[in-house]
Amino acid sequence: MTPLPSHFRTFGVTQVTVIHNPGSEDEERFETEAHIQAKTAFFAVDTPIYEGDVVEFPDPRGGLARKVAASVDVNNPTGSSFRGMEHIHVTWGAAPPARVAPVRRLSVENLHAEVIRSSSDLFADGHYEAAVSEAFKAIEVRVRTMTGSAQSGVKLMGEAFGGSEPRVSVAKATGQSGKDEQEGFAALFRGSMLGVRNPRAHDLFRPQDPQQALEYLGFASLLHRQLDSATVS
């Protein structure tokens, strides 16, 4: 794209992002420069901007401003006396808000019942490390009860989920996909004991970080849900 005419550049240009088909599967973005004003903007004459496109640029108050190109006028006069005056004049309209993923905020109340039973009171009282420890201890106890094994920790998980004929099958798929799923969750169960349940792993835990604790509890919840539908042989 050609640069903006010099008389626009005199008053300053801003690096912007132009978004075609915003919010759709066909969304496309590209970077360019423009002279931004409150109600209008000016782009180089060959900028591929069209009515309905969204333009994002830095807001001097912080974050990003979002504007929609309500009208786009291409000014491309002919004749040598007009050379250097070619430009696109955009008039702003109301822009849609930035897309936000439709997710629900994670909370202890949304986790598996076993995590709530073992850890919710500790988490609510700010005992985050203890809440995480109890959540993974509950997984260990549950797997030991399901298998009747006397093992613990990593050995217990290897005995329960590993091998060609695992004692506890958590795979929902069949064939090779099922084998891969079983092997993957076997690694997750072993890893939970080695990386979280193992007392030596607590050196990496940030005891005053509720977000980190909640993410660990979410991991424990996932493992419990796999056990809900597991088959034991």
* pLDDT-based confidence at residue 200 (cuts at 50, 70, 90): low
Are the beta carbons of 87 and 42 closer than 8 angstroms? yes
Return the pLDDT at 106: 57
130-161 pLDDT, tens digit each: 899 999 999 999 999 999 999 999 999 999 99
Residue-range domains of the chain with CATH: 6-93 (2.40.10.10), 108-232 (no CATH)
The full 3-state SS of the chain, as one line of letters, equals CCCCCHHHHCCCCEEEEEEECCCCCCCEEEEEEEEECCCEEEECCCCCCCCCCEEEEECCCCCEEEEEEEEEEEECCCCHHHCCCCEEEEEEECCCCCCCCCCCCCCHHHCCHHHHHHHHHHHHCCCHHHHHHHHHHHHHHHHHHHHCCCCCHHHHHHHHHCCCCCCEECCCCCHHHHHHHHHHHHHHHHHHHHHHHCHHHHHHCCCCCHHHHHHHHHHHHHHHHHHHCCEEC
Put simply, whether the predicted model's pTM sits higher than 0.85 gets the answer no
* pLDDT-based confidence at residue 198 (cuts at 50, 70, 90): confident
53-79 mean pLDDT? 88
Are the beta carbons of 182 and 161 closer than 8 angstroms? yes
198-215 mean pLDDT? 73
Return the pLDDT at 96: 64
> Within 10 A of 115 (CB to CB), how many other CB atoms are there?
29
77-114 pLDDT, tens digit each: 765 555 677 899 999 997 666 554 444 455 777 899 99
Return the pLDDT at 101: 46
